[in-house]
Amino acid sequence: MKSFLFPLLSLLLFSFSTGNEIAPPAEGKAVVYFARTASMGILINFSYFDKDKFIGKFHGHGYIRYECEPGEHVFWAKSENSDFITADLEAGKIYFVEALPKMGGLKARVRLMPVNPAQDVKMVKVIESMVSKKDGETYTADYLQTENEKWKDDIQKGMERYQEMVTKQEKIERLSKEMFYVKAAAADSSK
């Protein structure tokens, strides 16, 4: 009986892991993982943008792996509200942004927070674990094109809101070049 249970238990334990890893970007690119780890508002979609470009949406726990050009970006998310962060990304580097659900009037609000791996080791481990257990959201080029058309007016309003925040000098979180992720094993082997 024991010889039957061990393989069955092993199969069950490993069936919960996809074996994914935090993946580096293609040469000359940067990558940002937008991760939603909190359970509040789990049924509410958060939609994600890179300035005037729709990059994806999902509800509940999950993530989007977004590969992009290095340099300056304005990332934002929309739910009941819109929240913005600016980013300065370096080629070849991996960055994390946490999408936090907040209590809203009709549905969950969204708050984007840059993750600094040097200071928030716990959140990095949560994101690593999520990636290892779950595939990220993926989208076809046709879907993204259709969604960009569908979101056209909201994107314009979002960019107007961002400009208003800049003009009023409201606080906007910043993801800096120095806030990149280094895989723990690689970091430990360099010591």
129-143 pLDDT tens trace: 999 999 999 999 999
88-146 pLDDT tens trace: 999 999 999 999 988 777 777 899 999 999 999 999 999 999 999 999 999 999 999 99
Domain ranges, ordered by start, for the chain: 21-180
Give the Å distances, CA to CA, from 190 to 22, 66, 182, 186, 187.
19, 27, 11, 7, 5
pLDDT band at 7 (very low <50, low <70, confident <90, very high): very low
CATH number of the domain at 21-180, please?
2.60.34
Cα distance between residue 141 and residue 66, in whole Å: 13
What pTM does this model have?
A: 0.84
Torsion region of 184: left, alpha or beta (phi above 0 gives left; psi -120 to 50 gives alpha): alpha
Q: Backbone phi, then psi, for 49, in 5-degree steps?
A: -140, 150
